[in-house]
Amino acid sequence: MLKLKALLLTQGMHGMVSQVEGLAKALNLDFKHHTVKLKPFWNFLPPKLTPISENLLTDKFICDTKVIISCGRKSVVPSIALKKKFKKDIFNIHIQDPKVSLRHFDSIICPEHDELRGANVITTKGAIHYLTKSEINRNVEYIKIEKENKKIISLILGGPNKYYDYSEEQVNIIFNKIKILFTPDKYKLIVIPSYRTPEAIIKKAFNTFSHNHLVFKTIDKNAYLSALSLADFIIVTCDSTSMISESAATGKPIYVANMAPVKNNKKFKNFYTQFKKLGIIKDLEDKIDIWSYNELDEVNRIAPIIKEKMKINGII
């Protein structure tokens, strides 16, 4: 039996791709990606002020699928446009708050900390993603590292956003805290940058840690998965709820390396509060604890709920 096909619409960022692809896999769909690019003028307007038209896109694409999964601000307009064009013949799902009327979508997937509620809204604990425990563990041997009877600490670096600016002072505070806490006689550090990590931060990490530890200077998904598999403890910078959510698939202790926000970060605070209550994260402070929790697998929890909605709508 042929699999149902899905079109995945994002702006191409790792966090968005991880979410749409994770959902498509959990729904057992064949899928293809399309990176959404709006014509320059429309990039500056929020979705609620943007006309619903495929003509706003820099390049057209063929929709030959029954399911649309979109994520991110720029993907809102083409998803709604396709729904208006094909009506009940497609089932459109948007991940994150679309910032427009919820009636435009058959289903919306949104983290609880965003506080979005509606009849067609399914809430999740943290962000959904494409990582699975089995995929993480399959990559365990990708990084060749001598443990030397030391605990492995994997440091996952994010990058600046509108809430955290990664000032030199803030980065120095984090790196110095890690050096003091996780001394090379007892711990081995693996540093993994992400797509958003500036070159200057990667260089600083290399200069700070490479003498005693392992620092990756390029983006490497396999290294990321291997680091998660090898780790006894995981440290993730506070700017990325996506990478914290991905790390939670391991069931391993996750420390959040905090920075002072440059603007109100209410949604981040809500996320931290929820994950602390679930026993998943602790703030990186001046002591090392050992704890465990149930591995988080939200995408496979919500997949049956979405499949039922798709059945009701006659899609499957």
Residue 289, domain member (yes or no): no
DSSP label at residue 191: E
Residue 122, domain member (yes or no): yes
Same domain? For 43 and 60 the reply is yes
Amino acid at 215: V
Share of the chain above pLDDT 70, in %: 100
Kindly report the CATH number assigned to the domain that includes residue 118. 3.40.50
Residue 18, domain member (yes or no): yes
pLDDT of residue 1: 54
Could you tell me the sign of the dihedral formed by the alpha carbons of 219, 226, 269, 172, in that order?
negative
Same domain? For 116 and 197 the reply is no
101-to-63, 86, 135 alpha-carbon distances in Å: 23, 19, 37
- Written as one string, the DSSP assignment of 248-306 is GGGT--EEEE----SS--HHHHHHHHHHHHTT-EEE--S-------PPP-HHHHHHHHH
Answer whether 102's CB lies under 8 Å from 120's CB. Answer: yes
| Tens of pLDDT, residues 242-253 | 999 999 999 999
Kindly report the CATH number assigned to the domain that includes residue 188. 3.40.50.2000
Residue 291, domain member (yes or no): no
Phi, psi (5° rounding) for residue 252?
Answer: -95, 155
Residue 175, domain member (yes or no): yes
- Biggest alpha carbon distance in the chain? 63
251-to-111, 241, 245, 275 alpha-carbon distances in Å: 19, 16, 11, 12
How much of the chain is helix, strand and coil, in % rounded to 5?
Answer: 40, 20, 40
Could you tell me the sign of the dihedral formed by the alpha carbons of 175, 177, 178, 184, in that order?
positive
Which token pair is 163?
């809430």
Same domain? For 149 and 257 the reply is yes
Report the domain count for the chain: 2
Phi, psi (5° rounding) for residue 3?
Answer: -75, 150
Same domain? For 91 and 200 the reply is no
Starting at the edge strand found earlier in the chain, the sheet holding 187-192 runs: 214-215, 187-192, 151-156, 233-237, 254-257, 281-283
Same domain? For 76 and 115 the reply is yes
Answer whether 296's CB lies under 8 Å from 249's CB. Answer: yes
Residue 266, domain member (yes or no): yes
Same domain? For 192 and 96 the reply is no
Per-residue pLDDT of the chain (316 residues; tens, 9 = 90+): 578 999 999 999 888 999 999 999 999 999 999 999 988 888 888 888 888 888 888 887 788 999 999 999 999 999 999 999 999 999 999 999 999 999 999 999 999 999 999 999 999 999 999 999 999 999 999 999 887 899 999 999 999 999 999 999 999 999 999 999 999 999 999 999 999 999 999 999 999 999 999 999 999 999 999 999 999 999 999 999 999 999 999 999 999 999 999 999 999 999 999 999 999 999 999 999 999 999 999 999 999 999 999 999 999 8
Q: What angle do CA 78, 161, 7 make, to 5 degrees?
A: 25
Q: What angle do CA 171, 18, 125 make, to 5 degrees?
A: 80
Same domain? For 145 and 263 the reply is yes
Answer whether 248's CB lies under 8 Å from 169's CB. Answer: no
166-to-16, 92, 184 alpha-carbon distances in Å: 22, 36, 25
Same domain? For 274 and 138 the reply is yes
Same domain? For 120 and 151 the reply is no
Same domain? For 42 and 120 the reply is yes
Q: Which of 274, 244, 242 is nearest to 256 (CA)?
A: 244
Q: Which of 2, 60, 70 is nearest to 33 (CA)?
A: 70
Same domain? For 202 and 240 the reply is yes
Domain that holds residue 85: 5-130+298-312
Residue 64, domain member (yes or no): yes
| Tens of pLDDT, residues 161-196 | 999 999 999 999 999 999 999 999 999 999 999 999
Question: The whole model's pTM is what?
Answer: 0.92
Answer whether 108's CB lies under 8 Å from 121's CB. Answer: yes
Residue 102, domain member (yes or no): yes
Same domain? For 142 and 167 the reply is yes
| Tens of pLDDT, residues 198-248 | 999 999 999 999 999 999 999 999 999 999 999 999 999 999 999 999 999
